[in-house]
Amino acid sequence: MGTFLGFVVTMTLLFCMAQGEVLYYDFVVKETPIQMLCGTNQTVLTVNGLFPGPEIHAHKGDTIYVNVTNTGPYGVTIHWHGVRQIRYPWSDGPEYITQCPIPTNSSFLQKIILTEEEGTLWWHAHSDWTRATIHGPIIILPVNGTNYPYKFDEQHTIVISEWYARDTKDIIDEALATGGDPDLSVAYTINGQPGDSYSCSNDSTYNLTAVQGKTYLLRIIHSGLNEEMFFGIADHNITVVGMDGAYLKPLNTKYLMITPGQTMDVLVTANQTPGRYYMVFSPFVDTNAPSNDNVTRGIFQYTGTYNQSETPVLPELPGLTNKSDAGNFTIQLRSLNSAEHPSTVPTNITRNITITVSVNQQPCPANQTCNGPDGSMHSASLNNISFSAPSISILQAYYNNLQGVYNKTFPDTPPFVFDYTGNVSALGEAANVTTEVLMINHNEEVEIRFQGTNLGAAENHPMHLHGYSFYVVGMGDGNFSDSYVSQYNTVDPPFVNTVGLPKNGWTAIRFKADNPGVWFMHCHLERHASWGMDTVIVVKDGPNDDQKVLPPPDDVPPCS
C-alpha cells in the first residue's frame, strides 16, 4: 500500500451530535502514469497518485471530511462504500443519483458520518468505470477503550483489483454505444502488484512477511469490476471474523469466495514450517459470458533460514466454475450476535418486495450495427426495468420537489410471473428503459427477495444497497417459495451491504428503513450496472426533526 500523501487533522467535537473525533483528508484525483505488465507507462486516474489509493483510518463514531479535488479530464464522483451516511445522502457519491460529477478543476468537501460501522470498508469512484483505479480502504477501528472480539498480532490490508489495457471510460462508452461486451481486464492485482503469474512481473509481487507463531488480521477488499474471486493461502487455514464493516462468528475455512464490493476480515496464524507460500486470488465464473480466467499471486513468506529460491507452495482452491463451493462458503456466514454486537433482525415485516434480476437484450436501433447477441444490444434489469440515469441527480430532484426527473412507480412485484429459473427461450428479453424509484415509508420493516432469472447470460449477482446494511435471512437455488420463510435465519444472519444472488436462485434480505434519503441499489458487476441492473430506493422522512434528510452542503457539484 502507498503512504498517505494528504494530511490528517484530528480534533474533539464539542457538541452532542458527535460520538468521536473529526478527521480531515485531502484527495486529489489526477492522471498518473503507471507501468504494468510488459507495457510502457499507462496513464490512469488515481487519488494522490496512488494505486490503490490512500487508506482512511478512523474509529467507530468518528466523522470524516474529505476534500475531493478533481484535476482529471472529466467529471468524477466518490462513494464511501458501506457507510450508512445517516440522514446525509449528499456525500454518498453515485453520479446522477445523489450528486452530479465533480467537474474538472473543482472540489467537493464530502462528509462521511460513521455510526455503527466497525471493521473494513472501502471508498471508490462511482462514475463510469473510473473505480477500476480510483479506490482505497476505509479502516474503522473500535471505539477507544474497547477491544476487538478476537486477538491478533499485526494487521495488513489486501486490495484485489482488475487492470485494463486501456482507458476504462473509453471501454464502457464504446460498449454502450455498440451494445457489445466491454473489454475484459488483462490482469488482477494485489495491492497494485500483478504477481509472478504474469509476464514481466516477477519483481512485482506482493509479499507479506510472517513470523512463526504470530496471528495476522488481513483486511481483504474486492475492488474489481466484473469478476468474483476465490482466495486462499497454501497450507494455511483462514478464519473469517468480519465482513462489510460488521463482525461475524469465527468461520474456519481453507478458502473465501468474495464478490466485487465485499470486504472480509480474516485471521491467519503462521503455524507452518518456515517457507514461502502463495496467497492466490482465482476467479469464480458461473456464466457463459466472457471472463478473465487469469489468477494473481502474492507470497506469504516466513522470516528465518530456509531455501528462499524454492518455488512457493500453491493453495488448493475451488475450480473456476465450482458453483457449489462458492455457495457452500457463503451460507456458512453468521453474525457475531454477542452482547456487545447484537443482531436486531426485523421480524415484523410491513413491506414485502420481490425483485427479478435479469440480463436482457434490447433491439438494435434502426440504421445501426450492434455487437450484442444476434445483432442486439446488451441490457439488464430489475423487475423488467432497465434503469436510465437522469441528467440531474435524483436526490436534488427529490429534495427540491422537481417534477419530471423520475417516476415513483417501481413495482413491489415482478410485472408478470413465469418460471424464472427454467426454460425462458419463449420469452422476449427486452426490458422497459426508464427512471423508476421505489418509495418506502420511514421506519418500515422491509424484506426484499431477489430472484435470479435464466434470461441472457445468467450468473451470480452481487447486489449492493447504499445507505444501509441488511440481514441476509435466506438464500437458495431455483424459484423462491413462500414456504421457505419458515426456514429463514432470523437469529444471527450476516449483516452486510453486498450479497451474492446465486445464479438461477434467490436471496432474501431484511432491514429497517430508518435512514431517510435517496439510496442506490445495484449489481456490483460493473457491466451489469452499466446495462441498467439498478434502481433507487427513496426512504421518506419521518415525522420528527431527527428523522428527516439534512440540508445539502453549499458546494454540492452543479448539474449542467
User: Is residue 233 situated within a structural domain?
Assistant: yes
Is 80 exceeded by the pLDDT of residue 339? yes
Read off the pLDDT of residues 283-329 as tens digits, 9 standing for 90 and up.
999 998 999 999 999 999 999 999 988 999 999 999 999 999 999 99
Report the mean per-residue pLDDT for the chain: 94
Could you say which of 107, 141, 175 is where a domain stops? 141
426 Cβ neighbours under 8 A, 6+ residues apart: none
Is 80 exceeded by the pLDDT of residue 14? no
Residues 136 and 270 in one domain: no
DSSP three-state, residue 315: coil
Residues 250 and 323 in one domain: yes
Q: How confident is the model at residue 430, as a pLDDT?
A: 81
CATH classification at residue 177: 2.60.40.420
Among residues 523, 449, 494, 147, which one has the least CA distance to residue 329? Answer: 494
User: Is residue 552 situated within a structural domain?
Assistant: no
Cell numbers placing 1: 500500500
User: Is residue 86 situated within a structural domain?
Assistant: yes
Cα separation, 11 vs 5, whole angstroms: 20
Cell numbers placing 381: 434489469
Mean pLDDT of 232-261: 98
Read off the pLDDT of residues 415-436 as tens digits, 9 standing for 90 and up.
999 999 999 988 877 899 999 9
Among residues 85, 5, 91, which one has the least CA distance to residue 51? Answer: 5
Q: How confident is the model at residue 200, as a pLDDT?
A: 83
The residue count of the chain comes to 560
- Amino acid present at 187: A
Is 60 exceeded by the pLDDT of residue 12? no
User: Is residue 171 situated within a structural domain?
Assistant: yes
Cell numbers placing 88: 446525509
Read off the pLDDT of residues 191-205 as tens digits, 9 standing for 90 and up.
999 999 998 877 889
The share of the chain scoring above pLDDT 70, in percent, equals 97
How many domains does the structure of the chain reveal? 3
Residues 52 and 169 in one domain: no
The strand pair at 470-477 and 505-512 is best described as: antiparallel
Residues 133 and 170 in one domain: no
Cα separation, 188 vs 397, whole angstroms: 39
User: Is residue 340 situated within a structural domain?
Assistant: no
Read off the pLDDT of residues 483-510 as tens digits, 9 standing for 90 and up.
999 999 999 999 999 999 999 999 999 9
User: Is residue 202 situated within a structural domain?
Assistant: yes
Longest distance between any two alpha carbons in the chain, whole Å: 71
Q: Between residues 77 and 39, which one has the greater pLDDT? A: 77
Residues 184 and 283 in one domain: yes
Read off the pLDDT of residues 395-406 as tens digits, 9 standing for 90 and up.
999 999 999 999
Q: What's this model's pTM, rounded to 2 decimal places? A: 0.95
User: Is residue 1 situated within a structural domain?
Assistant: no
Residue 19: band (very low, low, confident or very high) from pLDDT cuts 50, 70, 90: low
Read off the pLDDT of residues 146-159 as tens digits, 9 standing for 90 and up.
999 999 999 999 99
Residues 511 and 432 in one domain: yes
Q: How confident is the model at residue 11, as a pLDDT?
A: 36
Among residues 164, 127, 144, 155, which one has the least CA distance to residue 58? Answer: 144
The share of the chain scoring above pLDDT 90, in percent, equals 93
User: Is residue 504 situated within a structural domain?
Assistant: yes
Cell numbers placing 432: 422497459
Cα separation, 205 vs 198, whole angstroms: 10
Residues 196 and 315 in one domain: yes
Q: Which domain holds residue 132?
A: 22-141
Is 90 exceeded by the pLDDT of residue 175? yes
Placement of cell 424459484 in the chain: 479
Residue 560: band (very low, low, confident or very high) from pLDDT cuts 50, 70, 90: confident
Residues 117 and 223 in one domain: no
